[in-house]
A and B are shown apart, each in its own frame.
Chain A
Amino acid sequence: MDYERRKTLKAGGGAGLLALLAAAGIIRPGDALAADWNKAAFEGKSTQDALKAMGASAPATSGDIVIRAADIAENGAVVPVGVESKIPGTQSISILIDKNPSALAASFDLPAGTEPSVTTRVKMGQTSDVYALVKADGKFYMAKKEIKVTLGGCGG
């Protein structure tokens, strides 16, 4: 399986590679397509809606996911959030903010060779649980951290 993947990686990049992977049944079409944008997931209002649209309705809670963020964010418009996964075979990392108008903030696909750790900045409308969703070997895992916001980042 792993050998197969090396072979497909060598066989071609970009769309060709994704088509090959999809054909081999490793990923479902639209699952990790770079040019794609998961409209349903980003427009899902609640965390549950977003998870469902990503095909992750019941992720297991994992202690191997670290959310790097301050407990209190002074400015909700710019909240630095980093997520690091120690789960082997991590394929993607997503950041969801429970109480935002749309929960899903960002989703990162990590090809083999890219470290399962990303950092970005997000907006938070109010104090909320922040979830990190990790996909590893086709399974979903989740961790959460509450970030308190003293000044909201929506509408300001």
Chain B
Amino acid sequence: MADPMRIRATSKDGLTNVKVLMSHEMETGQRKDGSGKIVPAHFIQNVTATYNGKTVLSAQWGPAVSKNPFLEFNFKGGQKGDKIQVTWTDNKGEKRTDEAAIS
């Protein structure tokens, strides 16, 4: 199981800023290990952020997103204390959802 994401959401002037740091290898499938074998691709393909059940961002990623991916975006609305949820799914079907309260 992958490590939890670090999510920070702050609300200011009616705009909520969301920063997410995920823990993932993001292996491209092009790198070779010490014995010359190709390391199989393993990367996050889909990321969805929801606020009160409404999607505020959905992303499709390729292996060119850096290891331990970082993501930042802003959306209108968002009350302090409410939860924002982020889910990722990788190419092996692994999945992780974490949430954080808006501050």
A residues adjacent to B (C-beta < 8 A): 13-14, 32, 34-38, 42, 77-80, 82, 97, 100-102, 104-111, 113-115, 117-124, 153-156
Contact with A along B58-73 (1 / 0, CB 8 A): 1111111111011111
A104 near B62: Cβ-Cβ < 8 Å: yes
Cβ-closest chain A residue relative to B77: A113
B71 near A105: Cβ-Cβ < 8 Å: no
For B92, list chain A residues within 8 Å (CB): none
B56 within 8 A of A: yes
Q: In the complex, what distance in Å separates the CA atom of A34 from the CA atom of B50?
A: 12
CB contact between B45 and one of A37, A105, A118, A155 (< 8 Å): that residue? A37
Q: In the complex, what distance in Å separates the CA atom of A123 from the CA atom of B58?
A: 20
B37 within 8 A of A: no
For chain B, the count of residues having a C-beta within 8 Å of the partner chain is 33
Minimal beta-carbon separation of B76 from chain A (angstroms): 5
For B67, list chain A residues within 8 Å (CB): 77-78
B residues adjacent to A (C-beta < 8 A): 15, 26, 28, 30-32, 45-46, 48, 53-67, 69-77
Main SS class of interface, B: strand
Minimal beta-carbon separation of B63 from chain A (angstroms): 7
Given contacts A35-B46, A105-B64, A106-B62, contact A120 B15 (CB under 8 A): no
Cβ-closest chain B residue relative to A75: B66
Minimal beta-carbon separation of B6 from chain A (angstroms): 14
A79 near B66: Cβ-Cβ < 8 Å: yes
B55 near A122: Cβ-Cβ < 8 Å: no
For B76, list chain A residues within 8 Å (CB): 113-115
